[in-house]
Amino acid sequence: MAEIAAINGTRIWFDLVGSGDTVVQIGGAVSAHEGYDPVTPDLSRHFEVLNYDHRGYGHSDRPEQRYTIDVWCDDLVALLDHVGRGRVHVHGGSMGSFVAIAFALKYPERVDKLLLGAGAVAKCDAMGVSHFRVWQYLARAYGVGSREVGEELVNKAFSRRYIDEMGLDALTDAMVDTASRNASTHVFIDACQVMIDADVRAQLPHLAAPTLVMVGSEDVLTPLDAGPGGVGARDVAKMIPGATLKVFEGAGHGHYGEQTAESVRAILDFLA
């Protein structure tokens, strides 16, 4: 049942479904908790799933402030305290993977297993930085809920094959609807900056939680293999002690939507 919690001076929306060990799912830069809609029903048959919206997103408050990765990490630990959950499995996709890594480094005692989906990178290469800067330029010019931003997001979120099969206009309509409801322009611009600035290369070897790194082979946004100035998902898995790498062949950044059954299977196998 969805509820609102008073967390660090703001109101945070959350929803607990299922039973068993708790898996908390950290939203991305656009879709908030809705990004996990493809996988939540199957996961909640085996685990208690805690979905929530960051401050600035979805059903949570959107105060005018600077949004940083520390703000979101501190809100999450306070939310876990609010619902009385100590050590949990932490699942982050897309921008949520940036937050999940930071959370596991800042609050290692709260993380049982760590799942990093939709392309986890430790540092963006020059192309990755450019992608997020273009998002910022378009958002400033047109707003995050615009068709201009929506089409650009679709072209980075999915594989070429998936876009052709599903239809660019249909996917853009859905992206515009999602972004309009769940994201605010100033928060989205800060979120892009969080990903531009992220650099956890030196800290990854200190991550103690068993970790699953998931990425689509066609992910152009947070890729399997970054350029020499960045660290892509393959190297993230190498740098975290004992981490497991799962590559979804043919999928883009949004493998939860493109290959839902395969994504669920990878998550359940890892958590088992």
pLDDT at 1: 72
Q: Which residues contact 126 (CB under 8 A, 6 or more apart)?
A: 227, 229, 230
Q: Compute the mean pLDDT over every residue in the chain, rounded to the nearest whole number.
A: 97
Does residue 162 register a pLDDT over 90?
Answer: yes
Q: What is the mean pLDDT of residues 77-104?
A: 97
pLDDT at 176: 98
Say if CB 82 and CB 7 are below 8 A apart: yes
pLDDT at 147: 98
The set of long-range contacts for 199-206, using a CB threshold of 8 Å and a minimum separation of 24, is 199/122, 199/123, 200/101, 200/102, 200/105, 200/122, 200/123, 201/122, 201/123, 201/231, 201/239, 203/105, 204/101, 204/122, 204/236, 204/239, 204/240, 205/239, 205/240, 205/241, 206/105
Does residue 258 register a pLDDT over 90?
Answer: yes
Using one digit for the tens of pLDDT, what is the confidence trace for 121-147?
999 999 999 999 999 999 999 999 999
Using one digit for the tens of pLDDT, what is the confidence trace for 191-233?
999 999 999 999 999 999 999 999 999 999 999 999 999 999 9
Using one digit for the tens of pLDDT, what is the confidence trace for 30-39?
999 999 999 9
Does residue 165 register a pLDDT over 80?
Answer: yes
Does residue 262 register a pLDDT over 90?
Answer: yes
Tell me the HSE value of 234 on the side-chain side, using a 13 A CA sphere.
11
**Tokens for 190?**
């800060």
CATH number for 2-122+200-271 (one of 3.40.50.300, 3.30.450.40, 3.40.50.1820, 3.20.20.60): it is 3.40.50.1820
pLDDT at 62: 96
Q: What is the mean pLDDT of residues 100-104?
A: 97
Does residue 265 register a pLDDT over 90?
Answer: yes
- Can you give the residue ranges of every domain in the chain? 2-122+200-271
Query: Between 126-142 and 147-157, two packed helices, what is the crossing angle to 10 degrees?
Result: 160
pLDDT at 119: 85
**Using alpha carbons only, what angle is made at residue 134 by residues 198 and 39, rounded to the nearest 5 degrees?**
65
